[in-house]
Chains A and B, each alone.
Chain A
Amino acid sequence: GQQLNQSPQSMFIQEGEDVSMNCTSSSIFNTWLWYKQDPGEGPVLLIALYKAGELTSNGRLTAQFGITRKDSFLNISASIPSDVGIYFCAGHRGGKLIFGQGTELSVKP
C-alpha cells in the first residue's frame, strides 16, 4: 500500500539537543498528523495539522503542514530521555490514515 516517505529512519542524539524529522508524499493530504509509539503500545497523537501552512506547537513539539500539502515536519526542542520512541507521520485522506515508515529516536542522557 501507499506509504509516506519519512526521514530520517533513526536518530541518536544527546539529551538537550533539538530534533527534526519530516515526511513527504507525492499526493496531497487534507490533514497531517504526528504520532509517538512506545514499545509494545499503540500510537498516541502528538499534533494534528488541518490547513496548508499551519504551524502548531504542543509543548516542546512544533509541527508544520507544508504549503503544497505534500509534506510536513516535526521538531522537538531540548530533548529529554522520555522522548525516546518511534515517531510516525500520517496523512489523512478518504477517511483513512496512511503512515510513514517511522523515525526511531534514541536520546543519550
Chain B
Amino acid sequence: GAVVSQHPSWVICKSGTSVKIECRSLDFQATTMFWYRQFPKQSLMLMATSNEGSKATYEQGVEKDKFLINHASLTLSTLTVTSAHPEDSSFYICSALGLDYNEQFFGPGTRLTVL
C-alpha cells in the first residue's frame, strides 16, 4: 500500500509553454501533498504544501503565479509550471501524507526539460 504516482515521468517542452504534472495517491487518501524541486546533485527543496480543497502554501522565494498548484481531490494534486523557461528545468517530486499514516510517501518524480 501507500503508493504515489506521478505523470508524466519526463517531459520536454519549448520555452514559454506551460506544463502540468500530476501527483496521485493510488491506494490511500492524501489530506496533504507536497511538491519538491531537485536540481542535479542537490537536495530536495520544498516548494509548496497543498491541502485538499484549499489554497496551497508556498515556501519563501517560490512564485505562486508561476507554479500553480491544485489539490482538487483527496487523491490528486497537480503542479502547473506556467511560461516555462530553461531555468525551470529540474526534477519535480511530490509526496503525499495520508489520514492513516504519519509519514510522507514520495512519487517517482518528473524530469522537466525546457528548451
B29 at the interface (CB under 8 A from A): no
Would you call A88 an interface residue if the criterion is a C-beta within 8 Å of the partner chain's C-beta atoms? yes
B11-19, B69-77, B79-87, B104-112 - the one binding chain A: B104-112
Give which listed residue, A33, A96, A102, contacts B43 with CB less than 8 A: A102
Residues on A with beta carbons closer than 8 Å to the beta carbon of B111: 40
Contact with B along A20-50 (1 / 0, CB 8 A): 0000000000000101000011111100100
Instruction: Report the minimum CB–CB distance from A45 to chain B (whole Å).
Output: 6
Taking A40-B109, A42-B4, A43-B93 as given, write out 10 further A-B residue pairs in contact, using a Cβ cutoff of 8 Å, ordered by the A residue number.
A1-B45, A35-B106, A40-B91, A40-B111, A41-B109, A42-B6, A96-B46, A97-B95, A97-B104, A99-B45
Q: Could you write out 15 A-B pairs with CB less than 8 Å apart? A: A1-B46, A33-B103, A40-B91, A40-B109, A41-B108, A41-B109, A42-B6, A42-B95, A42-B108, A44-B106, A96-B34, A96-B49, A97-B46, A99-B45, A102-B42
Interface residues of B, Cβ cutoff 8 Å to A: 4, 6, 32, 34, 41-46, 49, 59-61, 91, 93, 95, 103-104, 106-109, 111
A-B pairs, 10 with minimum CB distance: A42-B106, A99-B43, A99-B44, A42-B109, A42-B108, A42-B93, A101-B43, A43-B106, A42-B107, A41-B108
